[in-house]
Chains A and B, each alone.
Chain A
Amino acid sequence: MGRFHRHDDGTVHAHDTRNDHDHEQEHATGDHSGYATGGERVEVLERIFDENDKTAAANRAEFAAAGVRVVNLMSSPGAGKTTLLRETLARLADRVRVGIIEGDIETSLDADKLAGFGAEVALINTGNGFGGECHLDAPMVRSALPRLPLGDLDLVLIENVGNLVCPAEFDVGEDARAMVYAITEGEDKPLKYPVMFRSCGLVVVNKVDLLPYLGFDMEGFLGNLRKVNPAAEVMLVSARTGEGVGAWCDWLRALP
């Protein structure tokens, strides 16, 4: 692997565990490739997500100025995000002014399911362009803002693209991240997708109405979750039967 690298004075060493920022400063003139190419080297040291993060900060400022709380809701496909949102709107829509930003690779199927609850829904189809995107990024969310009356809203729920990998990498300007995890997905997912599970403050464990039929090892799952994110809050929910949905709604309303 490329951890070992060479400096202009000929020394070679491995990366250690210091803060990466300090590391960049210290080695600003070092040869980080570990091989000689004979070309002229220009230091860059630029974060690849910098553009996205700047736009996320702009989104966050706009949400804050409008007094809106924003939750980025993520999960694998089929875990139950849309069903949970339907139940959420059914319970909250007459008390909390909710807007939805709906990310989907193709179709308006999810947005259609959420229509009729009095919430404003802005759909982002990410399928445009080269191959379609597997996540929402900050510029995509920004493009949806003109279609939401932020000044008239209390809460915006962003339904991200169903995917346990890519959405975790992109700050979109949210105040909190939550994920919906269905017990049909198996106990090992926190270990396989640690970045996603680490990035969320709340894990909604959905489809618990199926517990009697699945042989799901809840303690094993919670143990795996704690290995990657010991601070995560956990709620047991069945969006289908409504069990636990009230606690989820309370969590949304209590967002700081």
Chain B
Amino acid sequence: MAHDSAAAGGALGRANKALIPIEDTANLLAAFAIMALMILGVLQIVLRSVFNTPITGYIDLVELSMASMAFLGAAYCQRLGSHIRMELLVGRLKGRALWFAEAFGTLAGLFIIGVLIYYSWGHFLRSYTLGDTTIDAEYPVWPSKLLVPIAFSIWFARLALQFIGSVRLFLNPSLEPVAVVVAKDVAEQAQDEIHEVMGDEIDPPQNGGRS
């Protein structure tokens, strides 16, 4: 990408590199929340059935923790192009037409996520000033509500980069793609699926799998 560093690709590339670790960390936090939910569930069953002392406010804890799983990975998912869409048209476009469609799609995302950041912030602020708590164990609700505008802001940043990246390629389709999702055909999607399950363990089929 040496020829690319002069213009928009340079700054865009740097912004992209800066955003990636933030997205990865946010998704990792969501991953930890899933792990914690598993441990909490097992503990709850053991404590309730064996010791007859269920965790106080278990359901409250689960509900509060769900915001981290539901939102924190949104930008990571966007970067990898995993929020579903219909590929019928986009999958067939090439060059300028493709980058126009991509720019339009990310602009739509910027609009709605922008609106949601503003109004979910308001939702958080009301909860914070009123001192809203959960019904059972009376945990404060605001930290969970705060996760929405935070996660959506990272998502917004990712969408902004993708929008700039698409516009840049629309203006000059011959440039190296930076900060855009490269549309995949079904065969490539299938490869992704295989990789997701088997990780790096995938090996040539002839040797019959791992020993």
**A, B co-complexed:** no
Residues of B within 8 A of A (CB): none
- Where the two chains meet, the residues of A that have a C-beta atom closer than 8 Å to any C-beta of B are none
